[in-house]
Structure 1
């Protein structure tokens, strides 16, 4: 991957597009072009290194007997099995968090070095601790229920677990905007009431039930821009980062918001939820078939006697991580298609291709994004089409309109 990313991969702008609005040389300075290339290559390389490293860590936890040690620690002075399992999850989660902390810190410092992050260390560390507890509590609930199901039904646990993921996923989507997101940032009604009225007018055209647009203070953490429609039911809300408000014109902001509304109108949230539910069913079924065989075949080397043992959790997480990595190209392909549809919807709603192009240019510039990444990087990492493709979508739409 190192040689592919730093020496072999071709990621420049095609000759036919040189000098056009899709060419980053027309909207980025020479320094920004250099920084964009460096930053993208380092981040892409880290992605392809860290994921296999995670698998290796899980194997080492199992093979060295560390998982068994965590299990013994969790049994000291504890009677109830659910409490023991909770203690094991805490030891495992704490160990992996501490182990990967240097990598997480390097990512933060890298983002800071290239001018993406503006967050000081104390603020970053505060978010890091919040992340730990939010993810730990979520993981703990899932693991406790999962191993309880494995204990009571060794053959059909995967089906029962899948059935429970449906209400759990809906519940998490419902509480995300009002419980989890405010832990990290302050949300408040949009200060610019004239702009809010125009955004709500767009929302009305799109039949989106919303009375307020929310602003979130991100400028103290990042220079990047974002906007989104989140939540379901009564908790759905339109959110704008203040960096977006500070760096884009009104017409560009309206295009960005129209894009996010496109996801809502075209039911991408519900399609994504349905895809998640189906892929979870398939994933749990695969794990239910593979994991017992692996324990039977390699249980002695992995220090696992049976699947019901909580010490088998690292093997479960390893298989889950492998499947997520393998499925990345498919899920990213679907996501890129949905993003293209949302772009087309935004152009229909705003009828302002100039604002669309300048929005994409500004997004690429502030995020130091590659406008045309290498093929492997695109299929494994890009949930949105590269900026080159998004700008081409605008050109094709304009030609079609004419």
Structure 2
């Protein structure tokens, strides 16, 4: 008995220590960011003094601090919820309740119900934070354009789409876990890989239009400029579209979506209002740089590699009683290990809950690689368009999106997927003063 309890107790202690360390580091980093932004609130950085007004700089500082403070509250609450699901027995209670409701004659239905119930409960728990972020923080700084009706409509549509896609996929994964023996994780990985690639085709064509309107780009001057850029770069897209992002937010963006022949170029309407034609071309050249430098392919390969390793690890953990007991649930293991029918849904949920606690400490590495890709895409844009136009666009976007220009360096190393504006523009060798006071 002691031999079986010792690994479980160790699992509990390691998980608790990792969660505490995770929480302390995140609070420390956020407090550093808040202090850094507040300390520089009173003056625009010298290199931006001719392009960013003090009022815009202070608005960005206040917006950054407001989001961080809400994030701290959400972080503490999320840690409490995580403890509730695991060591305090919440997931075990929910599993036992559904086992009683469905009985032993439904080996697939009960685990599927567990996944659905967990998703619904977690979604309800997160709703207040989403509402506050949208209708208080974003509203306060003039970014929110959504009505409550539109927000609720998105919630309903998102839930229905998620259920229509997620429930069959979850049922297939649970069936594979039970029907394909010890190598279930390899079959599951193959299904997940195929599903992810399929979604790259399906999402832009069928799902995204459920939430936003996509109109063909009508600006002939911009269309000619963009078409010429893509021809120079050897890039083919199915179409150029403008998305009505202004229905929901004042934030601006542009992106590529799709896979293979389904690739599309999408501009937020807010972006086209804020930038000149040469600046839009430079932003698009940056996005093209990600494709030409094969960043997208590398990220997809990395995602598949990590998912394969994670599923292989999960395949082993599902057979270890201490994994369940140490995280606060009663395992249903195969008969030779002292149990009856394995509940793979429990293992999946525990794994999804626990992995982020540990993977957070690898975030500086992934953020560093992402920032390196951004520098490479900037360099490509400077070759295909204009470094100065890209610099002008970046300053405008930082201003209009209220992004702080004075982040804490250590916070950047952990969280920033894009380099700070000063680093990006300095690396391109562009001139700040050329942007103009109206930027």
Partner of residue 95, structure 1: 121
2:230 match: 203
**1:10-25, aligned counterparts within 5 Å?**
10-11=36-37, 18-21=45-48
Q: State which of 337, 362, 373 in structure 1 corresponds to 2:407.
A: 373
Among 67, 81, 85, the alignment partner of 2:95 is 67
Query: 1:327, 1:131 → 2: CA distance?
Result: 30
Structure 1 pair 24/106, CA: closer, same or farther in 2 (3 Å)?
A: farther
Contiguous gaps of at least 5 residues in structure 1: none
Q: Which residue of the other structure, out of 40, 56, 73, is the alignment partner of 1:29?
A: 56
Q: Does the CA contact (< 8 Å) of 2:45 and 2:405 recur in 1? A: no
Checking the alignment, whether the CA contact within 8 Å between 2:331 and 2:342 is kept in structure 1 is no
2:131 corresponds to 1:105:
yes
Partners in 2 of 1:328 and 1:50 — Cα distance? 21
CA distance in 2, matches of 1:376, 1:127: 36
Return the alpha-carbon distance in structure 2 between the equivalents of residues 95 and 318 of structure 1.
14
Deviation readout 1:276-311 (Å, 9 max, x if unpaired)? 111111111222334543546616941333383134
How many residue pairs get matched? 393
- Check conservation: 1:252, 1:355, Cα contact below 8 A: yes
8 Å contact from structure 2 (residues 324, 330) kept in 1: no
Which position in structure 2 is the counterpart of 1:286? 313
Superposed CA RMSD in Å reads: 3.1
Deviating more after overlay: 63-72 vs 261-270: 63-72
User: Which of 203, 210, 214 is the matching residue for 2:241?
Assistant: 214
Larger radius of gyration: 2
Alpha-carbon distance, 1:220 to partner: 1.6
Matched residue, 1:262: 289
Give the TM-score taking structure 1 as reference length: 0.86
d(CA) in 2 for partners of 1:255 and 1:371?
Answer: 21
| Deviating more after overlay: 195-204 vs 121-130 | 121-130
CA displacement 1:120-167 (0-9 Å, x = unmatched):
111112112222233344443443233223223453222222222221
2:390 is equivalent to residue 356 of structure 1: yes
Partner of 1:314: 349
Judged with a 3 Å threshold, the aligned counterparts in structure 2 of structure 1 residues 40 and 85 are, in CA distance, closer, same or farther, namely closer
Higher mean C-alpha deviation, range 341-350 or range 370-379: 370-379
Say whether the 8 Å CA contact 1:173–1:232 is kept in structure 2: yes
Does the CA-based 8 Å contact 1:116-1:224 persist in structure 2? yes
In the TM superposition, residue 383 of structure 1 has moved relative to its aligned partner by 1.8
Deviations 1:28-76 (A, max 9, x none): 5354244234235335535644653553343156456123213444x27
- 1:132 aligned to 2:159? yes
Separation in structure 2 between the aligned mates of residue 397 and residue 166 of structure 1, nearest angstrom:
44
Q: What is residue 428 of structure 2 aligned with on the other side? A: 394
Structure 2: runs of 5+ lacking an equivalent: 1-25, 334-340, 433-439
> For the Cα contact (< 8 Å) 1:329–1:379, is it kept in 2?
yes
Work out whether 1:340 is the aligned partner of 2:375.
yes
Please tell me whether the aligned partners of residues 258 and 345 of structure 1 are also in contact (alpha carbons under 8 angstroms): yes
CA deviations over 1:344-385 (Å, ceiling 9, x no partner): 11111112x332222111211122212242245323432222
